Amino acid sequence: MIDEIKVGTILIRKGTVLPDSFRLESESYSDGWKLTKDLDGYGLDRRIRGMGWPSSREKSLRRAVNRILTDPKLDGFNSLEITQISWG
């Protein structure tokens, strides 16, 4: 039985490489996607950090900021303030 989609639901693309030691209970949801069971974003983050994996959030944030900073529309600006970060 497929769990209900709700706020915090995590879907993972089939074929995503995870370490063998990372057991993730999931079931097929949609073509190419798996629905995680009993694990929301916070739980996933806790497990990843508990295993000693570096968080990819910092890397993602750096890529996003670099994309913004290289936007030609910002050529006339000399500063940038980050006012909000959303992860979901």
Q: Which residues pair with 40 in a beta bridge?
A: 9
Could you give the number of structural domains in the chain? Answer: 1
- What pLDDT does residue 88 have? 53
In a domain, 32, yes or no: yes
CA distance 74 to 67: 11
Query: Where in the sequence is the domain holding 69, given as residue range(s)?
Result: 9-74
Look up the pTM and report it. 0.52
pLDDT average, residue stretch 6-33 = 84
Is 83 a member of any domain?
no
Residues 12-27, mean pLDDT to the nearest whole number: 82
The whole-number pLDDT of residue 75 equals 82
Degrees, nearest 5: CA angle 49-68-80: 95
Element (H, E) at 5: none
Tokens of 19: 């370490």
Domain membership flag for residue 2:
no
Q: What is the mean pLDDT of residues 30-59?
A: 80
Is 20 part of a structural domain of the chain? Answer: yes
Provide the pLDDT confidence category of residue 3 given band limits of 50, 70 and 90: low
Q: Is residue 86 part of a domain?
A: no
pLDDT of residue 1: 52
Burial of 5 (0-12, 13-18, 19+ CB in 10 A): exposed
